[in-house]
Amino acid sequence: MFREQCMQGYREVGGGIRIKVLTYEQTTMLVEFRMAAGAGLPGHAHPHEQSGYLVSGHIELTIGDEVFDVHPGDAWTISGDVPHQARVIEDSVAIEVFSPLREDFLD
């Protein structure tokens, strides 16, 4: 699958956070997160492994019991079923890979 960049196709998932599935196949999915300052992703866990990269902005990411001050260029991996949450300090853009793909993110 190949997709060209465009500013359409974002879906509001709540509280100033929008996502866009960039591409996916049978076992992996690439997703862009656009997050407004002051937004937060409440604590949650899912069976998917998740790796991310902060493109721009500033977030505070909690993975399990550890808290990370995340800046552009920083990256993370969250094992499946590990609780995590985020607090958005500045408008931010992150790119994340999920495996297996998240059916709940598909239209």
d(Cα 82, Cα 55) in Å, to the nearest integer?
A: 23
Mean of pLDDT over the chain? 93
d(Cα 5, Cα 10) in Å, to the nearest integer?
A: 12
Q: Which of 12-16, 87-91, 94-98 has the lowest mean pLDDT?
A: 12-16
Q: What is the mean pLDDT of residues 90-102?
A: 96
Residue type present at position 93: V
11-105 CATH fold: Jelly Rolls (2.60.120)
Look at residue 1 and tell me whether its pLDDT is greater than 70: no
Evaluate whether 34 touches 17 at the Cβ level (below 8 Å).
yes
Cα 67 from chain centre = 16
DSSP 25-65: -SS-EEEEEEE-TT-EEEEE--SSEEEEEEEEEEEEEEETT
pLDDT, tens digit (0-9, with 9 covering 90-100), for 39-82: 998 999 999 999 999 999 999 999 999 999 999 999 999 999 99
